[in-house]
């Protein structure tokens, strides 16, 4: 299983939110590149880089952070937040991302998402499936789509999606454990590489995600708050 560390960006700084609420923004580092180098030095290989400004404002605003990290580390990076066109996708790949995560577009413009999927392929385009109380959210978690999470994912998997980052917004940043039952339910009904996100609070949580069959687990606040150590995570890989 891949262990993926999250770096969320607002104003060029490394931050975390609680339950997707921008009013809870807490800055953990003024220099995301320094944090990325710590991740790489620990032996971990994967980074989930999110432009929260871009997600909120519907345009990419922190592409320079991706360029710096990709140019100075060998981390395998997936990037999301604010992408709206195929040109945006190309810019992100040219800046050094290995994969792109698209959530809001998949919710609000399925035709465009499927066009990207056809052009760039399922190995490069990750479906971002963020949910609260089983309903999919979009636009930096500010909009409830009303779509049920499992149906949303399965509908795209039959059209070629291979990877899904599935985030329980209600658990994100709460350090109270992941949505095990929902992830187990998704994996029982959908053949997809599921990357769990939201609520991870301990190494044991990560082991549980591995044991139920998740392809990856994203770790954010638990690392920044010292609940898990990078070296501990590297030993699980």
Q: Cα separation of 92 and 224, whole Å? A: 26
Rounded (10°) CA dihedral 197, 125, 14, 60: -140
Active-site residue flag, 8: yes
Active-site residue flag, 41: no
Contacts of residues 207-210 at CB distance under 8 Å and 24 or more positions apart, as own/partner, are: 207/236, 208/178, 208/180, 209/1, 209/178, 209/180, 209/183, 210/1, 210/236
Active-site residue among 130, 168, 172, 205?
A: 130
C-alpha separations of 88 from 4, 40, 93, 103, 140 in Å = 23, 26, 9, 14, 17
Residues belonging to the active site: 8, 130
């Amino acid at each position: 299983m891949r262990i993926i560390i999250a770096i969320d960006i607002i104003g060029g700084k490394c931050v975390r939110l609680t339950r997707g609420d921008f009013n809870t923004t807490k800055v953990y580092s003024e220099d995301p590149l320094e944090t990325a180098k710590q991740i790489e030095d620990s032996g971990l290989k994967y980074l989930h880089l999110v432009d929260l400004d871009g997600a909120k404002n519907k345009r990419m605003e922190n592409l320079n952070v991706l360029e710096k990290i990709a140019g100075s580390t060998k981390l395998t990076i997936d990037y999301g937040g604010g992408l709206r066109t195929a040109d945006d996708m190309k810019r992100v790949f040219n800046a050094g991302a290995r994969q792109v995560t698209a959530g809001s577009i998949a919710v609000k413009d399925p035709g465009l998402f499927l066009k990207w999927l056809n052009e760039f392929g399922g190995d490069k385009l990750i479906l971002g499936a963020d949910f609260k109380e089983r309903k999919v959210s979009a636009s930096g978690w500010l909009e409830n789509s009303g779509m049920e999470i499992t149906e949303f994912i399965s509908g795209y998997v039959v059209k070629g999606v291979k990877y899904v980052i599935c985030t329980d917004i209600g658990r994100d940043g709460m350090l109270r454990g992941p949505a095990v039952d929902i992830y187990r339910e998704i994996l029982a009904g959908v053949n997809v590489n599921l990357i769990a996100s939201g609520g991870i609070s301990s190494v044991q949580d990560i082991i549980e995600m591995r044991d139920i069959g998740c392809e990856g687990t994203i770790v954010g606040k638990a690392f920044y708050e010292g609940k898990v150590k990078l070296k501990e995570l590297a030993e699980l890989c």
